[in-house]
Chain A
């Protein structure tokens, strides 16, 4: 297509722009972004909130369309809506994302690195500029295929306009999104309508919440062999964990372990020994029989996982190893809560992981609990999120999904075009 000699001899920024210009523009954007961060002492590039973000994105989108319609012959605009610009901007974003994918995004001890923005890349100016570059190209190339509109461009538009919508509304949305945490205490007297954000600033919401009950289901705990000297779980070759509810005998190293009795909620004391109970603070317990295949010795005892109140009870197998029950892992947890809406009406609802509920335009999520206390947690952490841009982002995502089906078709077209060649 192009003549190699022409490209290398071509003067920069004259004639038709290609990849070199793209590289220089990316580099310039990177340096400018970095300079802003350093000069301002780590000022972040943060999207303003409503209504300024709406004005920004509407004005920017209109600007791109107008620029395309009236200046499409201009070589800069022509270049910005071409593949070399697209590839340059994508490569720029790729490099920024690679940094993001490698550098841990936690504040560093080195103040300069923090100020440069490398430890909080997504809100750095360099990153913002790379996104603006992509958006510009994407916007212009979309305009190119919208005016004039042709039916055969539908697939193209689904992908490019879809991505434009996702990017720009996600960006705008970051200025308006509100995330608040509500610590709902077990014994709270009154419902609360005040949550805190990640910086611990308090905000009020138009509804009130009160915890009725926090409920957790746990997995049946596992039995493992632990090395005494370093408390490490012994790595068995086949590493098949032994869940205590099975009736089968398990072979752990050279011990055959059998659970004779399993109690999900147990407590023990010197008078009653181990007993089943529904009391708070109970933990799983198992009566195990262990047969040593090398020495033919048999051991038996109660072992427990223990918890925040009681020590774990393990079984010493020999000088090197003991048999232990691991703390059970959470299977499901949810909060039954009372929700009072702005009219003062009360409703009983349930929030569970992966099953958020909607209240007055906010989504409520089950996020956490008191880890130390596990299923006996004395509070439930519920997160409330208000994200007015979500429907717009979803429109973009569904356009991309439709667009990916189009890409599927293209694959077929390519096949037929190469068949024609044969």
Chain B
């Protein structure tokens, strides 16, 4: 599996998704057009799923090791989350956002292809590997989405009229994302015990995942007590996004992370 075939799969997914967004933009009275548009998203997802499966088989290990490989999973999960959110709550802009971000990840992957090395260090060869990483990816994608919602909300509060439903959407994303983050931390702890002998070692990636956990924890508790202080809630969510981004991408550049088992190696 090489990058020649990646571009074929990625491009077909991008074409389907872009067409679907265009269809969604056309105002229509009947339900046929949105249905076709949603089917196109599913087709795009299926194409990416096939690519990931082929890659998995070809590498002979789960493609979850390098940054490029995890980006591939984000490209898959974002439209997935977008589609579910859209079919439940009908936020069109959110669908557009998630697909846009997904396409961005695919493009980055094409511009900066990663080492598709077959090797996987023994500590990562565990049944925990796949659930642990996928749960995290899913959770980060949801939490990132919630923070984007908050940024939209902040824009609305300062420049337009703020609609309270915006935060309802953010809440749903935070709660589900948070549940998955807790699972990710818990699975990580159980796995670390098997692999390294201790469930928590304050490895930088662990520390930053915990920080993300704590920031969204502050949001949830603040919102619970001060339902009406919308602006502060929005700011907390916006701030949490920065922490999330560091946990997600920034780790490799932190001075504390030189010996982390979690930094995505190139070797």
Which chain B residues border A94 with CB–CB below 8 Å? 211, 214-215, 218
Within 8 Å CB of B113, what residues of A? 237-239
Given known pairs A1-B229, A101-B254, A418-B168, the reply for A411 and B118 (CB within 8 Å) is no
Q: Is the CB of B214 within 8 A of A97?
A: yes
Would you mind naming 9 contact pairs between A and B with Cβ atoms under 8 Å apart?
Answer: A170-B200, A241-B115, A390-B199, A397-B199, A400-B186, A401-B182, A404-B179, A410-B175, A411-B171
| B11 adjacent to chain A (CB < 8 Å) | no
Contact among A102, A219, A393, A414 for B256, CB-based, below 8 A: A102
8 Å CB contacts to A: which residues of B37-94?
88-89
Question: Complex Cα distance A132/B194, Å?
Answer: 28
Task: Give Cα distance in the complex from A241 to B3, angstroms.
Answer: 12
- Does A292 belong to the interface (CB within 8 Å)? no
Please tell me if the beta carbons of A243 and B179 are within 8 angstroms of each other in the complex.
no
Known pairs A239-B113, A329-B121; A98 contacts B211 (CB<8 A): yes
Quick check: A353 and B195 within 8 Å, CB to CB? yes
Task: Please tell me which one of the listed residues A83, A102, A356, A418 contacts residue B254 in the complex, with CB atoms under 8 A apart.
Answer: A102
Q: Which B239-265 residues have a C-beta within 8 angstroms of A?
A: 246, 254-256, 258
B221 engages A87 (CB within 8 Å): yes
In the bound complex, do residue B255 and residue A383 qualify as a contact, i.e. CB atoms below 8 Å apart? Answer: no
B207–A90 CB distance below 8 A? no
Residues of A within 8 A of B165 (CB): 418
CA of A182 to CA of B183, assembled, Å: 34
Asked whether, in the complex, the Cβ of A87 is within 8 Å of the Cβ of B175, the reply is no
Identify the closest chain B residue to A410 (Cβ). B175
Q: Which residues of B contact A222 (CB under 8 A)?
A: 117
Which among B175, B218, B255 has the highest number of chain A CB atoms within 10 Å? B175
Contact indicator A238/B2 (Cβ below 8 Å):
yes
- Segment at the B interface, from A38-46, A69-77, A274-282, A330-338: A330-338
Establish whether residues A411 and B175, one from each chain, have CB atoms under 8 Å apart when the complex forms. yes
> Interface size class for chain B?
35 or more
Q: A239-B114, A239-B115, A354-B125 are in contact. Are A83 and B225 (CB under 8 A)?
A: yes
Q: Which of chain A's residues 342-363 have a Cβ closer than 8 Å to chain B?
A: 352-356, 363
Contacts of A86 in B (CB 8 A): 221
Identify the B interface with A (CB < 8 A): 2-3, 88-89, 113-119, 121-123, 125-126, 164-165, 168, 171-172, 175-176, 178-180, 182-183, 186, 189-190, 193-200, 202, 204, 207-208, 210-211, 214-215, 217-218, 221-222, 224-229, 246, 254-256, 258, 267
A-B pairs with CB below 8 Å: how many?
152
Tell me the complex Cα distance, A122–B256, Å.
Answer: 14
Residues of B near A177 (CB, < 8 A) are 198
- Residue A405, interface by CB 8 Å: yes
Known: A400-B182, A411-B172. A101 touches B207 (CB 8 A): yes
The one of A237, A330, A421 in contact with B122, judged by C-beta atoms closer than 8 angstroms, is A330
Q: Does A78 reach chain B (CB closer than 8 Å)?
A: no
* Known contacts A97-B210, A102-B256, A329-B121; A354 and B194 CB within 8 A of each other: yes
Interface centre among A90, A403, A411, by most chain B C-beta atoms within 10 angstroms, is: A411
CA A401 – CA B118 in complex, angstroms? 33
Say yes or no for A313: interface residue by CB 8 A criterion: no
Q: Are A408's CB and B211's CB within 8 A?
A: no
Distance between Cα atoms of A411 and B88 in the complex (Å): 13
Tell whether A240 is near chain B: CB-to-CB under 8 Å: yes
